Structure 1
Amino acid sequence: MNQTLSPSFPRYGSFREARRIAAILRKETVGGILLVIAAVIAIVWANTPLADGYFALRDLEVGYEPWHLRLSLGAWAADGLLAIFFFLVGLELKREFVAGDLRRFSTAIVPIAAACGGVAVPALIYAAIVWQQPELRHGWAIPTATDIAFAVAVLAIIGSHLPSALRIFLLTLAVVDDLIAISIIAIFYTDRIEILPLVGAFAVIAVYGIVAQRFRSFFGDRPFAAWLILLPIGVVAWALMHASGIHATIAGVLLGFTIPVLHRRVDRAAGVDGPGLAEEFEHRFRPLSAGFAVPVFAFFAAGVSLGGWDGIGAALLSPVTLAIVAGLVLGKPLGIVTTTWLVTKLGRIRLDPALRWIDMVGVGLLAGIGFTVSLLVAELSFESGSPAHDHAKAAILSASIIAAVLAAIVLGIRNHQYGRIRARDRVDADADGIPDVYQQQERPDGWFKPQPGERQKPS
């Protein structure tokens, strides 16, 4: 007797969403390559006879002192430029909750659980290794982050045909991971809170949200109005958040979360639908973030003087180095794969028959590339110039490279199978322009009808 198949994992979602994510990942690929180049330049420069020039540039202070905004260029990159990156994180979070995999429990549970496991296990491994040295415990969150730009750059370099469903899962996991990282920074890495600036920041963010929600009504189809009106309001919110003592990048997330995601009707009389404000902002800000903001931050954050062979040896044997490398390279894939396996077993969710759990290990290793946010947390964890600070940065780079190499090996071995899956996913039997894999129908009970040509199996 035939039985319906249990829900499958990972989900494909809609064809439109798959194309949107593919476009995002193409932009992040370029950004990831620029990020790596910027980091390499910084490390090489910081370990040459010209190192003093690098550190003088990084520590050069500019800004208006009465507003407490006289900061070093390195601080401007961490607090200012990364706010653009986190603004896009807020946009992506909003989209996922409104129209993506996170809008329904059935599709949200696996990536959310995987992200939580990918944060908890590295943190526990780090804490276990450095527990005997209390001064190092504050860095427990360093190995919990995922750098999606670096990860997709690795995919581009190795030429992986990673299936669309796995790419969507990786991006969704990274978005949830970013949300957790943002929460950790706001809760655990805030030393002081100034109430008045904080209240002012929230008030300005509320105004920003009201204007953004009614943007089309106020200004119609005038994109330049966003730069003239919303951008100054956003800058004020960022400055007030910075003055409050909470890391200023949190303002970027909150501002991004206020932007309307759904498409808006531009010209009702003509019946023409145009992109919503979220789509416009993503189109305008993602190249700025991936091509400039994040690489510049990496340039100023990654430069660390290793002090010759003796310094490299000391860094390699440092407990903070061992803790970060173990957390990112071992803890990330272990936490992601184990949690995903448990949730799918308990939820009676089957892995796509064309995939194997080794594919999830490869995704877990990609998630172990924790470069950008890990560097930010390292900046917040240890005093600049201290051995722990420098060792943490060296460890983040080393761990990210190791995770990237291992992911390249695992996914490279499976690349032939991914090619077959890609060919399967391109089949469009009814020639309607949408591959059949995106048109499978979900029953009200959450189970799926099998695809044409797929043999039914017992659940």
Structure 2
Amino acid sequence: MYRVWNFVTNYSLLLICGALIALVWANIDAHSYHQVVEYPLAFNNWVGVDAGYWLKKYGADYGVTEVSTLKVLSFHYLVNDVLMAFFFAIAAKEVWEAVVLRDGALRGRKAATPLFATVGGMVGPISVYLGLAYFLGSETYDAVVRGWAIPTATDIAFSYLVGRLVFGAGHPAVRFLLLLAIADDAAGLIILAIFYPSGELAPEWLLLSVGAAVAIYVLFNRLPQRLDRGKQDRPNSTWVRKKLSFWPYLIAGALSWYGFQESGIHPALGLLPIVLTIPHADRSFGIFAEAEQHLTDLLNHIEHILKHPVEIVLFFFGLLNAGVEFSSIGSPTWLVLAGLLIGKPFGVLLFGWFAAHPMRLGLPQDMRTVDLFVVGCVSAIGFTVSLFIASVAFDSSTMLGDIPVQDAAKMGALFSFAAAILSVIAGKVTRVQKQNG
């Protein structure tokens, strides 16, 4: 339990602190809050939001009437588009290891039913969200349709913690939940890349990202390994590992990030191609395994270096994105919540049941079919990624009546912590037998 709590402390509590400060601040003095959020840190021609857009939308608030540069690096852009790339890199690292390493969580028959349940955990929320929006009328549907992916997300840290509280550390449903959450992270990254571009698409810029990834993989990964063939002490790989460390990958990451920014794909995903090129361990022990913190491969070494900086990044992410006025609560809030609290549990149950029984893929030993519903309730805690998707799905000026759609949807992501209470109740009703150990 210590390892799990340590992970949650590192990656989520500061995020919650930032979110709570933002909520209080925005409801006391919304104007000063938003002035800080969009504060222009630098005017330049390389990194940031379009200068014309920023000037029209925010310039008057800072007394800026003319901009001579092409870009404006705002506080919000720095956190959401630049620094959050390191958070998504860590998420991608866990997904990548689960897919390619020996004993990886998403390899083999053991992952089949959780993968089907993951699909259900996305189809269910989307169906509920869009179905209810359609029922509320065309005005509501047209205003909220871009937010269909918000209720598909699962906050891996808090869901895993709640899962252990409901099922006990030794219950097979906890591992099932972890597999589902990792697969959900992978799907979330794909959704962000495909469905939520940050601007007009210019796919030719992705050649810069691909080129940087290929070059760094060949020169600093494959080439040293090739030169070390037949040499037990691996002198070339050791020299690269000790002398150059992560620096070549950081440079390649900067190039890849810039390629994503210019291509129109959300730049927070810009480090993903580089993650795939970094030397990694031979086998996976799992995201919460004690052995993870003792691995010395470069990929895990980089993750350990990023741990504390990412904690700070998540604090500012919460601070700059969760500042929603309570008066913004409206239809989008309830649609996101319905997608998470209704769509997730029933989607996971139905698709998991279909995979386990009609398809005969089975469930882990000692896990009941009804446990799938409880797993779905636990995975309905969206929070971090739901909040991020809400911030990119809607422009801050999109309105539904007098309610800002983005703010209302963000409130739904914040309220998704209600899934923890729902999970405890579902566990009691379905008579989950806790298995500690």
Quick check: TM above 0.5? Answer: yes
293, 318, 324: which one pairs with 2:336?
324
Matches within 5 A, 1:302-321: 302-306=322-326, 311=327, 315-316=329-330, 318=331, 320-321=332-333
TM-score, normalised by the number of residues in structure 1? 0.75
2:189 to 182, 191, 207: 182
The residue number in structure 1 matching 2:381 is: 369
Q: What is the aligned partner in structure 1 of residue 107 from structure 2?
A: 103
Alpha-carbon distance between aligned partners in 1 of 2:349 and 2:220, rounded to the nearest angstrom: 39
* 1:235 aligned to which of 238, 242, 254: 254
Sequence identity of aligned pairs in percent? 30
Do structure 1's residue 146 and structure 2's residue 167 form an aligned pair?
Answer: no
The residue aligned with 1:388 is 405
TM-fit CA distance, 1:385: 4.4
Counterpart pick for 2:216 among 193, 208, 214: 208
Q: Is the 8 A contact 2:249 2:278 kept in 1?
A: no
TM-score by length of 2: 0.78
Match of 2:122 in 1: 119
Superposed displacement of residue 393, structure 1: 0.9
Aligned residue for 2:265, secondary structure, equals coil
- How far 1:324 sits from its partner (Å)? 0.8
Please say if residues 208 and 255 of structure 2, whose CA atoms lie closer than 8 Å, have aligned partners that are also in contact.
no
Residue from 93, 96, 102 that aligns with 1:94: 96
**AA in 2 matched with 1:300:** L
CA distance in 1, matches of 2:203, 2:17: 40
SS class of match (2:410): helix
Instruction: Return 405-414 or 226-235, whichever deviates more.
Output: 405-414
For residue 403 of structure 1, the aligned residue among 419, 422, 429 is 419
Residue 270 of structure 2 aligns to a residue whose secondary structure is helix
Equivalents in 2 of 1:374, 1:239: separation in Å? Answer: 25
Cα distance in 2 for residues equivalent to 1:165 and 1:391: 36
Distance (Å, rounded) in 2 between the aligned partners of 1:64 and 1:196: 26
Decide whether aligned partners of structure 1 residues 182 and 258 sit closer, same or farther in structure 2, where only a CA change above 3 A counts: same
Relative distance call for 1:413 and 1:61 in structure 2 (3 A) is farther
1:59 aligns with 2:71: no
Contact 1:29-1:153 within 8 A present in 2 as well: no
- 2:436 aligns with 422
Aligned equivalents of 1:160, 1:212: Cα separation in 2? 44
Offset, 1:411: 4.3
* Corresponding position: 1:260 with 2:274: no
Distance 1:416 1:188, change over 3 A: closer
Aligned-CA RMSD value:
2.9
Distance change in 2, residues 1:196/1:274 (3 Å): same
Match of 2:85 among 83, 86, 100: 83
1:154 and 1:115 map into 2 onto residues whose CA distance is 18
**Deviations for 1:155-208, whole angstroms, at most 9, x for unmatched residues?**
58x586243643332222122112211211222222422244221122112223
On the 8 A contact 1:27/1:286 being kept in 2, the answer is: no
> Alpha-carbon deviations, 1:39-98, whole Å to 9, x = none?
1111111101x3333211111122451113332212221112221111112211221112
Residues in 1 aligned to 2:359 and 2:6: alpha-carbon distance in whole angstroms: 33
CA 1:32–1:68: 2 relative to 1, 3 Å: closer
Assess, with a 3 A threshold, how the Cα gap between structure 1 residues 366 and 230 changes in structure 2: closer, same or farther.
Answer: same
Write the distance in 1 (CA, Å) between the matches of 2:95 and 2:371: 25
Partner Cα distance (2:317, 2:202) in 1: 26
The change in CA–CA distance for 1:253 and 1:77 in structure 2 (over 3 A counts) is same
1:298-331: CA deviations, max 9, x gaps?
A: 221111123xxxx26xx24x2x222211101111
Q: Secondary structure at the match of 2:346?
A: helix
Report the Cα offset of residue 246 of structure 1.
Answer: 0.6
Shift of 1:292: 2.1
- Equivalent in the alignment of 1:129: 132
How far does residue 416 in structure 1 lie from its aligned partner after superposition? 8.3
Q: Residues 125 and 347 of structure 2 are in contact (CA less than 8 Å); yes or no, is this contact kept in structure 1?
A: yes
Matching of residues 332-351 of structure 1 within 5 Å: 332-351=344-363
Question: For this pair of structures, how many residues does the alignment match?
Answer: 380
1:28 equivalent in structure 2:
8
1:331-369 Cα distance to aligned partner (Å, 9 max, x none) = 111111211111010343544564434433232112111
Q: CA deviation at 1:27?
A: 1.3
Distance in 1 of aligned mates of 2:429 and 2:21: 31
Shift of 1:109: 1.2
Distance 2:6 2:25 in 1: 29
1:232 CA displacement: 2.2
CA separation of 1:92 and 1:98: change in aligned 2, threshold 3 A = same
User: Which sections of structure 1, spanning at least 5 residues, go unmatched?
Assistant: 1-18, 265-272, 424-459
Give the Cα separation in 2 of the matches to 1:203 and 1:227: 18
Identify the residue that residue 300 of structure 1 maps to in structure 2.
320
Partners of 2:386 and 2:432 in 1: how far apart? 33
Aligned partners of 2:126 and 2:148 also within 8 Å? yes
Q: Which runs of 5+ in 2 are unaligned?
A: 49-71, 226-235, 284-293, 399-403
Residues in 2 aligned to 1:188 and 1:294: alpha-carbon distance in whole angstroms: 23
Question: Which residue of 162, 166, 173 corresponds with 2:180?
Answer: 173
Determine if contact 2:125/2:343 at 8 Å carries over to the other structure: yes
* 1:68/1:243 contact within 8 Å kept: no
Distance across 2 between alignment mates of 1:66 and 1:259: 31
Cα 1:93/1:136, change in 2 over 3 Å: same
Q: CA deviation at 1:220?
A: 2.8
